[in-house]
């Protein structure tokens, strides 16, 4: 599979670091450009042919990488004139006669560490024209959000739209296109890959979301660039690659709601220690997954609660990697869209199902993971070796941040 890297942007938000002497994708992490790390990630999974779209200061990229032989890959270039910008996708016009099969398309200003084998398998098994690599990030308020229904993409909520509450699911800037996508690039002019390629295919139900917890972060601002540098030296990108077993801190939903239903979304707020605790998980390399067993509440309203939760966390630069609830599975007892659990035994089995599904999806090492619960009823966690921490049993049971911090410090 060929990879096409869009590296033609000017990077105006980060000129304080580039000084407009190098293109943004040539910013260095550990003495190597972002583009180098991307190409090495692709090569690791057998993708050895790369086409780089260059424009502003493109000679810097070409002089560094040349034909790619020194890196064990084949690199060619598409030159886009800085005086006639073609947007994020217009330069694909020059590849219409070159690419005859599915190809990876990614933006050149993101640091990635992805298991492309998993990603490609998912794309091929769903048989769509586009598969977007999506994830929650720590700044959804200024990101385009992807709207899905069972992994089928049904819309894009652009960052300029007026929003209230939303799910934090962002297009990470890595995707797989079928060669059919090039049919939308009819002439050499400015195109936007989201609006001119993806959006028309959403209407045809041919776009899928591949949600991952892996490390994909843009370096578009000095703050984000410095964060990537920090994460790299703490080995976070490599740890989060799904070819490796993951560690997870599960949160029982009662930890969030304290067994009280949210009857008024306007009054739903998050404590400072809860937000700090989630951010601590995000920074640690652990996954953060909610296991929810809200009972006697409509699925629609439960969805609105979690949208509010994700919005509040996002406003504070924090995120939940995923939420698993009973409605995801066929063994649910669902009567008129009201969640009703018949017995404690069923509650036990359902929670185990949620944990097992999360473990499979995110390649989690359950023996090195934890679940935080609000009470001492944690027997369901012990079945597969999951460590359980009860807030009631902790000395600092009212401070979730201290509990989370203690878990991470002990495990390290």
**251 lies in the same domain as 374:** yes
In a domain? residue 35: yes
Closest CA to 4 of 84, 71, 94, 126: 94
Sheet of 248-252, strand order: 322-325, 287-292, 248-252, 370-373, 387-390
Residue bearing the bigger pLDDT, 258 or 135: 135
Contact, 145 vs 168, CB < 8 A? yes
Query: Which residue, 190, 224, 258, sits at the end of a domain?
Result: 224
From residue 11, how far is each of 21, 99, 219, 225, 255 by CA, in Å? 11, 28, 10, 12, 42
Q: Are residues 72 and 13 in the same domain?
A: yes
What is the predicted pLDDT for the residue at 374? Answer: 79
Residue 335 has pLDDT above 50, yes or no: no
Residues 328 and 375 in one domain: yes
> pLDDT band at 379, cuts 50/70/90?
low
Look up the CATH number of the domain holding residue 85. Answer: 3.90.550.10
Look at the chain and report how many structural domains it folds into: 2
One domain, residues 271 and 406: yes
d(CA 299, CA 363): 27
User: What are 227-259's pLDDT values in tens digits?
Assistant: 999 999 999 999 999 999 999 999 988 777 654
Based on the fold, state whether residues 295 and 343 are members of the same structural domain: yes
3-state DSSP assignment of residue 325 = strand
Task: Identify whether residues 250 and 368 lie together within a single domain.
Answer: yes
Q: Do the domain assignments include residue 181?
A: yes
Can you tell me which residue has the tokens 């990108």?
Answer: 237
Pairing of strands 370-373, 248-252: parallel
Lowest mean pLDDT among 121-130, 304-313, 358-367, 370-379: 370-379
Q: What is the pLDDT of residues 34-44, one digit of tens each?
A: 999 999 999 99
In a domain? residue 140: yes
Task: Return phi, psi of residue 335, to 5°.
Answer: -115, 110
Supply the DSSP symbol for 194.
I
Give the model's pLDDT for residue 189: 95
Task: Give the pLDDT band of residue 352 (cuts 50, 70, 90).
Answer: confident
| Residue 115, pLDDT score | 98
Q: Could you tell me if 110 and 214 lie in one domain?
A: yes
Q: pLDDT band at residue 373, thresholds of 50, 70 and 90?
A: confident
Smallest CA-to-CA distance from 401 within 247, 249, 262 is with: 249
User: Taking 50 as the threshold, does the pLDDT of residue 337 lie above it?
Assistant: no
Answer yes or no: do 320 and 194 share one domain: no
pLDDT band at 380 (very low <50, low <70, confident <90, very high): low
| pLDDT of 136 | 97
pLDDT for res 261: 59
176, 119 in Cβ contact below 8 A?
Answer: yes
> Is residue 92 included in any domain, yes or no?
yes
pLDDT score recorded for residue 83: 86
Q: Note whether 183 and 257 are same-domain residues.
A: no
Which domain does 399 fall in, by range?
Answer: 245-411
Is residue 271 located within the same domain as residue 305? yes
Domain of residue 398, CATH code:
3.40.50.1000
Mean pLDDT on 346-357: 72
The residue that leads in pLDDT, 91 or 260, is 91
Q: For residue 238, tell me if it sits in a domain.
A: no
Quote the pLDDT of residue 295: 63
Tokens of 233: 């030296």
pLDDT band for 179, please (50, 70, 90 cuts).
very high
pLDDT in tens, 2-36: 999 999 877 677 778 887 789 999 999 999 999 99
Do 166 and 312 belong together in one domain? no
- In this structure, is residue 310 part of a structural domain? yes
Q: What is the pLDDT of residue 294?
A: 64
- For residues 173 and 210, the answer to whether their CB atoms sit within 8 Å is no
Judged against a pLDDT cut of 70, whether residue 69 lies above it is answered with yes
Residue 209 predicted with pLDDT over 80: yes
Q: Tell whether 236 is covered by a domain.
A: no
In this prediction, residues 78-104 reach a mean pLDDT of 94
Residue 377 confidence (pLDDT) above 90? no
**Confidence grade of residue 376 (pLDDT, cut at 50, 70, 90):** low
Residues 179, 94, single domain; the answer is yes
Give the pLDDT confidence score for residue 169 in this predicted structure: 98
Q: Is residue 235 part of a domain?
A: no
pLDDT, averaged across the chain: 88
């Amino acid at each position: 599979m060929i990879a096409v890297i869009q590296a033609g942007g000017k990077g105006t938000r980060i000129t304080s670091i580039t000084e407009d002497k190098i293109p943004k994708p040539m910013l260095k992490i550990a003495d190597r450009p972002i583009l180098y790390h991307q190409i090495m990630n692709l090569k690791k999974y057998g993708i050895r042919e790369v086409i780089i779209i260059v424009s502003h200061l493109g000679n810097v990229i070409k002089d560094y990488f040349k034909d790619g032989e020194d890196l064990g890959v084949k690199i060619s270039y598409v030159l886009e004139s800085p005086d006639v910008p073609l947007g994020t996708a217009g330069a694909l016009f020059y590849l219409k006669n070159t690419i005859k099969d599915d190809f990876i398309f990614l933006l050149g200003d993101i640091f990635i560490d992805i298991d492309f084998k998993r990603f490609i398998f998912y794309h091929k098994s769903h048989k769509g024209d586009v598969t977007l690599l999506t994830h929650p990030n720590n700044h959804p308020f200024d990101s385009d959000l992807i709207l899905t229904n069972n992994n089928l993409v049904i819309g894009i909520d652009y960052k300029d739209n007026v929003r209230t509450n939303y799910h934090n699911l962002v297009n990470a800037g890595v995707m797989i296109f079928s060669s059919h996508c090039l049919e939308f690039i009819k002439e050499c002019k400015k195109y936007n890959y989201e609006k001119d390629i993806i959006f028309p295919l959403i209407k045809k139900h041919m776009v899928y979301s591949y949600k991952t917890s892996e490390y994909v972060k843009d370096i578009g601002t000095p703050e984000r660039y410095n964060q990537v540098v920090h994460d790299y030296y703490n080995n976070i990108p490599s740890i989060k690659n799904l070819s490796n077993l993951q560690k997870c801190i599960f949160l029982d939903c009662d930890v969030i709601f304290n067994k009280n239903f949210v009857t008024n979304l306007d009054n739903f707020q998050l404590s400072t220690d809860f937000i700090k605790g989630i951010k601590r998980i995000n920074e640690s390399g652990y996954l953060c997954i909610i296991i929810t067993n809200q009972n006697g509440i409509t699925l629609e309203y439960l969805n609105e609660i979690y949208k509010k939760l994700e919005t509040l966390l996002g406003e504070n630069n924090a995120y939940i990697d995923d939420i698993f609830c009973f409605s995801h599975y066929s063994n649910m007892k669902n009567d008129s869209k009201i969640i009703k659990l018949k017995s404690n035994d069923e509650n036990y089995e359902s929670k185990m199902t949620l944990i097992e599904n999360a473990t499979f999806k995110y390649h989690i090492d359950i023996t090195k993971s934890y679940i935080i619960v609000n009470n001492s009823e944690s027997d369901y966690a012990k079945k597969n070796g999951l460590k359980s921490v009860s807030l009631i049993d902790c000395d600092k049971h009212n401070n979730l941040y201290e509990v989370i911090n203690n878990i991470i410090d002990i495990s390290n």
